[in-house]
Amino acid sequence: MGVQEQYPFDVEAVRDDFPVLDRLVGGDPETPGQGASDDTPLVYLDNAATSHTPDPVVDTIADYYRGYNANVHRGIHQLSQEASVAYEQAHDTVADFVGAAGREEIVFTKNATEAMNLVAYAWGLEELGPGDNVVLSEMEHHSSLVTWQQIGKRTGADVRFIEVTDEGRLDTDHAAECIDDDTEMVSVVHVSNALGTINPIRELADLAHDHHALIFADGAQSVPNRPVDVDDLGVDFLAFSSHKMCGPTGIGALYGREELLDSMQPYLYGGDMIRRVSFEDSTWEDLPWKFEAGTPSIAQGIGFAAAIEYLNEIGMDRIEAHESLLAEYAHDELSALGGVDIYGPPGDDRGGLVAFNVEGVHAHDLSSILNDYGVAIRAGDHCTQPLHDELGISASARASFYIYNTVAEIDALVEAVSEARDLFA
């Protein structure tokens, strides 16, 4: 049986929902979509940065703007009522998707980065002090690492880092040494955006809770492509972004246990998050609205929910199986080329991405050459500079996969990498 015949769903039917995948690339970047006749078919393998948005989600967003565009929670008129209901129901959809108890545990943010900052400022500045520590991993995205680093500087709390093994896995023995009775927060990426490593969040959660610490999981690379249930993971907080899961940019979500969110003070103030205001003092709205100050991203929230419904129709178990198939195939095919260094665990034990370098070729040069072949990948440090320092490299190339990618596209990637290797030989 060929690899294509092992697809867990009809990939070609899914691709039909994404017109951008029919683009030819290589034309004038100042007139996107208007390339010359000799352009190259697009092979989009940069999904860990941003996925594409299917027609049903685009239509849902357009329906809001065309049919009931209005501000939420502020008007008695029909349009405002319809927008408010749709926006609030979007919270319900997101809550159900990750197994939260209800909309009270889902705060819409600008992205996963803002979700982390919300907890760091609203919880961290109040709860951390000298003698406390926050435990991260060496593979953290800057959105976690820089945030807790700066909060540590403000509060005097120590920031510790769990080491990564030579195979690109979290060193669980070192984690047990780092997490102690002075630990207040453990913040770890669920799936590494640079290594593809799937971290043992439940094990870390149990360890953190044994020491009466909280745990925050960065789900930016896990929630889009595998079933995630906050109870199963045992997390206190979880952050993820719409734009990596077929939804619009400009919106993400913070899951937080209700009792924790209820005890935290907001860190943004203004309209919509207040209940009563006087010249002397103010009181806050109920969850989750007390953390959503000002006019929210209404269309984006409604589109976020539509993206989740789209993914649910495919099935998260099938999506995980598809990404695993592509990641293993890409890992094996790139390894077989020779002269390619791949970072992270084996192909059958990683999320849907492969980071690598070609001997003698800088990652930026490789990305530029691949672009000539129509293959879009990411090159750089992937917002994990300290991890790259530990690996002894300045940058890496990263191919990342999603529901609409195919084995044929990985073959195109491998062929282009082979050509680039030979060019610099």
Q: Would you please indicate which residues are annotated as catalytic (active-site) residues?
A: 383
Nearest to 284 by CA among 298, 296, 270: 270
Nearest to 423 by CA among 374, 386, 373: 373
User: Which phi and psi angles does 143 have, rounded to 5°?
Assistant: -60, -30
Spatial neighbors of 76 by CB under 8 A, at least 6 apart, are: none
The region that residue 144 occupies, defined by phi over 0 for left and psi between -120 and 50 for alpha, beta otherwise, is alpha
Sign for the CA dihedral angle at 23, 28, 29, 32 comes to negative
CB neighbourhood size of 29 (10 A): 8
How far apart, in whole angstroms, are the C-alpha atoms of residue 225 and residue 210?
30
How far apart, in whole angstroms, are the C-alpha atoms of residue 343 and residue 335?
11
How far apart, in whole angstroms, are the C-alpha atoms of residue 401 and residue 113?
22
Spatial neighbors of 270 by CB under 8 A, at least 6 apart, are: 293, 294
Q: How distant is the alpha carbon of residue 15 from its chain centre?
A: 21
